[in-house]
Amino acid sequence: DVKVTQSSRYLVKRTGEKVFLECVQDMDHENMFWYRQDPGLGLRLIYFSYDVKMKEKGDIPEGYSVSREKKERFSLILESASTNQTSMYLCASRFLGQGRNTGELFFGEGSRLTVL
Amino acid sequence: GESVGLHLPTLSVQEGDNSIINCAYSNSASDYFIWYKQESGKGPQFIIDIRSNMDKRQGQRVTVLLNKTVKHLSLQIAATQPGDSAVYFCAEISYNQGGKLIFGQGTELSVKP
């Protein structure tokens, strides 16, 4: 069974704190993604990574950074958390290569972050 | 499949009835489409997919229909069960845009026993 594991299901942080959200996948996927999900706004892409050491901004990268030092791990960093970053954060991964072009995303269970 | 608003569209059905969930996708060049199911407090799960060169695909109790003429995707669930209650959303993928995904906002399915 494929597995995307997010380290924390629930976090409560204070404004200004640095927050790390960790995601690990065991499928040897090249692509990894961080989304946030908010009521009425759907899934919004924060950052993605095509492969190790690579990162690309998504639609809403402001206030976030990422790290992809190893293929299986993709971390989302909130340098200074703010209340408007209270949200559900979803990590996903996929294989996207020649001859197997599906592009299906496998999601983790989500990390619900509350910033007070 | 994008809409702006504070509330998800909601579909309420009786247990045992068939459900049809619709999605209007945005890119006529999209190559591949997926339906996801997301239960409360969980991550989205893959249900079924369809390539752009097909117009219908069937799975177990689910069928996806693709109408490229009007850029419309639908998910049909046969004999809906309480365990089907969730948010369902579609995703479209374009390979010539590096596999870029666009997600629909979703529809909340509520199954009454």
Quote the pLDDT of residue B98: 72
A40 and B91 within 8 Å at the Cβ level: the answer is no
Quote the pLDDT of residue A101: 53
B106 and A42 within 8 Å at the Cβ level: the answer is yes
Mean pLDDT, residues A60-79 = 97
Q: Is B105 on the interface with A (CB under 8 A)?
A: yes
What 3-state class would DSSP assign to A99? coil
Q: Is B41 on the interface with A (CB under 8 A)?
A: yes
Q: Is B70 on the interface with A (CB under 8 A)?
A: no
Q: Does A79 score more than 50 pLDDT?
A: yes
pLDDT digits (tens, 9 = 90+) for B40-80: 989 999 999 999 999 999 999 999 999 999 999 999 999 99
Interface test with B, best of A48, A102, A109, A112 (most B CBs within 10 A): A102
Backbone angle region of B85, left / alpha / beta, with phi > 0 → left and psi within -120 to 50 → alpha: beta
**Angstrom distances, CA of residue B25 to CA of A94, A112, B90:** 21, 28, 8
**Angstrom distances, CA of residue B95 to CA of A3, A97, B59, B65, B100:** 24, 10, 24, 20, 7
pLDDT digits (tens, 9 = 90+) for A94-103: 886 654 456 7
